[in-house]
A and B are shown apart, each in its own frame.
Chain A
Amino acid sequence: MRKKKISLTIDGNPITVDEGTTIMEAAEQLGIRVPRLCYHPDLSLMGSCRVCIVEVKGMGYYMASCSVRVWEGMEVETSSPEIRRARRDIVELLLDNHPRDCQTCERDGNCELQNLAYSMGVRKRFFEGRRKRFPIDDSSRSVIRDPEKCILCGRCVRVCAEIQGVHNLSQHGRGFHTVVGPAHMANMDDSVCIQCGQCINVCPTAAFLEKPRTEAVWNALADPKRHVVVQTAPSIRAAIGEGFGLEPGTPATGKMITSLRRLGFDVVFDTDFGADLTIVEEAHEFLTRLREGPLPMITSCSPGWISFMEKFYPELIPHASSCKSPMSMLSTLAKTYYAERKGLDPAQVYMVAVMPCVAKKDEAARPEHKMPGGRPYTDAVLTTRELIWMIKCYGIDFATLADGEFDDPLGVASGAGDIFGTTGGVMEATLRAASELVTGKPADRLDFTEVRAVEGLRETYVAIGEHNIHVGVANGLTNAKSLLDKIVRREEEFHVIEVMACPGGCIGGGGQPYPRPGVKVLDPELLRKRASALYAIDSGKTLRKSYENPAIEELYDTYLGGPGSEKAHELLHTHYAARIPRGIR
């Protein structure tokens, strides 16, 4: 049925739009971007910040354009002198209750509130009132919560509930005393928080931040006795360029490697190697499960998902692949296989992992990922943002750098490893490997575009030999819930499920660069560009199958024995346990 059309004028311009359109959306069709703060197109409407107010003729008050739908004959003014002054006053009042520490704030230069205040013309602070005072919660290994920076826009509450299905955050109290936090204002690690970091991504200020590890990494780099090894996750190369003004979607593998060498890392390895190894181990595990169960097998690379499973779906623990994540596999091998080959004392090796993810900080600290003696295999996890900052701090002109190459042996990787960084990538890499393992013949195709769940959720059948494999792919945990519930209720039989906690997969991770002003967080177009960088890298490689990675073959021949061997199990596999508090799903 065709929608009814509504005609109105905005700033004197006539326009006809579908019934149900909001004033803000109608204005956008005219090229008018009403200033906004709490609004996010992918989240529910809240209308709490009042920044997007407009004047509607005949109404006695200013209306929030994000949440008022147009009506026939409506006359809207978006930028009259009165409206601009009122909007500026609103922002001034927000600033009045906000710390005055922009220069020393982590979000300096990337802060939506800062940008908004500038564009609204706030040049002085007129109001001198009482300021709210709350302690910082830095109890979590991953996410810092600083309520004094919070402007109560509620985006974190909504992303946590609506996109991630975690519902860890809520506004507590009322009025001046309102504060955002977990139930009973518990510390983040004592809550149902899964450390995905999407609250950091959507926060317009610095009320949520990753727990920094840059200081520890600087110290390791400055210590001549340390052999400092770095690994970079697949999705870093697809996003790091944005931090230096490169067009989103520009692959920057070579420049990234060179910048890491300039920073002083002794060796630069590729988490993609870990990804290839994960695929070989996981494909082996899948074949075993195909014979003995339990099915479906669920991927275990995403630590946000693993934490979610342990708190919300503990009954699915037997289904999660026992494979460590690519990061943890590579870290383990760096301090065993690589250290032995190089004749290094493992205690000397300092392992830094650059990840798109803040939950990796929690994963690295888990007791299962510690060396005999108690030190973690991964000494420090940096987010993409932290690495961008370190490169800038060091004065490296990223855009002009020559391309570098990863080091042997843990830097050789197939294209299947690269696509791990985007939704469907782990599934596609698995299918490439499994189709050969199951049929014993070379795969007749390498691209499995049908499993790329760009819309968030996909279920499909893939024919492999005589098997018709039922696969499910989800990113964003609300999407994942609908798959997981089907498994729990035994409504559908799946063979393999891939879950990535963050929207779009790792490319949309909680540690990725803040988008430039004007680009919304979680923008599907931005995520698509980052994903296309990974697919371009994959299709440009001649080595595209994890099994054909010569460095992996050598690792199995000279060190591990074979996929699924006892040594492989000892070094490359892990286990999970139900955690308290349990979430409500």
Chain B
Amino acid sequence: MSTSTDNWEQVQAAARESLGDEIAEFIEACRRGPEPESQLIAVLHQVQDRFGHLGGEHLDAVAQLMQVPAAKVAGVASFYHLFRLKPRGRFMINVCLGTACYVNGADRVARKVMDELGITWGETSADGVFTLEASRCLGTCGLAPVVMVDGQIHGNVTPDEVPIILEKYLKKARQESA
């Protein structure tokens, strides 16, 4: 590590604190292997699994520990749709826009979700409970249109049912925070 800057000890400690020991050790293992930079995406997946999103401080910590320029780490993270740069809500709402769901009115269901929560695709509701995303076929076309909330499938959803479904999860969120 002789080419790291003078404040390497502090930088390393701060980065470890931000990412946690497990990820820091994974990065160390990558750096001992061949082509450590090629493991960047694998590292980012681990960070997202742990924190739900890739925050600026996480990306800087990854850059420091991997010794990959921060601009490159941020560039990679922002390129892939699967990486989230903003915190996600407590529950993920996936509205299926696959063919079967779409012809059965998924667009109207999605519109209702957006109106109820005041958000659009990829956004998180102001209370931090829901994040809305679109899916392309969840493999349950017989139940079209399908909405998946927190891994739970809701089939044959009509726009009118959307507030009822959302209320169920809001209640759960309220219980959790109580």
Residues of A near any B CB (own CB < 8 A):
161, 167-174, 182-184, 191-192, 312-315, 485, 488-489, 578, 581-585
Contact = CB atoms under 8 A, between A and B. Distances in A.
Contact of A582 (B3, B5, B59, B79): B5
A184 B69 CA distance: 12
A174 B5 contact: no
A272 B36 CA distance: 48
Interface string B125-146: 0000000000000000000000
B72 A489 contact: no
Given A315-B5, A585-B3, 4 more contacts: A183-B69, A314-B5, A578-B7, A584-B70
Contacts of B60: 183, 581
Contact of A170 (B5, B64, B74): B74
Nearest to B78: A172
A167 B76 CA distance: 14
A167 B5 contact: no
Contact of B69 (A161, A315, A488): A161
8 contacts: A167-B72, A168-B71, A170-B72, A170-B75, A174-B78, A314-B7, A583-B5, A584-B69
Contacts of A489: 2-3
Nearest to B85: A184
Going nearest first, the 9 A-B pairs with the smallest beta carbon separation are A167-B69, A170-B75, A170-B71, A183-B70, A315-B6, A183-B74, A183-B71, A172-B78, A489-B2
Scoring B68, B69, B74 by chain A CB atoms within 10 A of each residue's CB, the highest score goes to B69
A585 B78 contact: no
Main secondary structure of the interface of A (DSSP, over half): loop
Contact of A485 (B3, B59, B72): B3
A173 B78 contact: yes
B119 interface: no
Nearest to B77: A172
B99 to A, nearest CB: 23
Contacts of A182: 71
B69 A174 contact: no
Contacts of B149: none
Contacts of A172: 74-75, 78-79
Given A174-B79, A184-B59, A584-B63, A314 B71 contact: no
Interface residues of B, number: 23
Contacts of B7: 314, 578, 582
A184 B75 CA distance: 8
Contacts of A581: 60, 70
Given A582-B11, A584-B63, A488 B3 contact: yes
Contacts of B69: 161, 167-168, 170, 183, 583-584
A184 B85 CA distance: 10
B59 to A, nearest CB: 7
B92 interface: no
Nearest to A166: B69
A488 B78 contact: no
A351 B70 CA distance: 38
Interface in B1-18: 2-7, 11
A183 B59 contact: yes
A536 B101 CA distance: 78
A349 B68 CA distance: 47
Nearest to A160: B71
A85 to B, nearest CB: 32
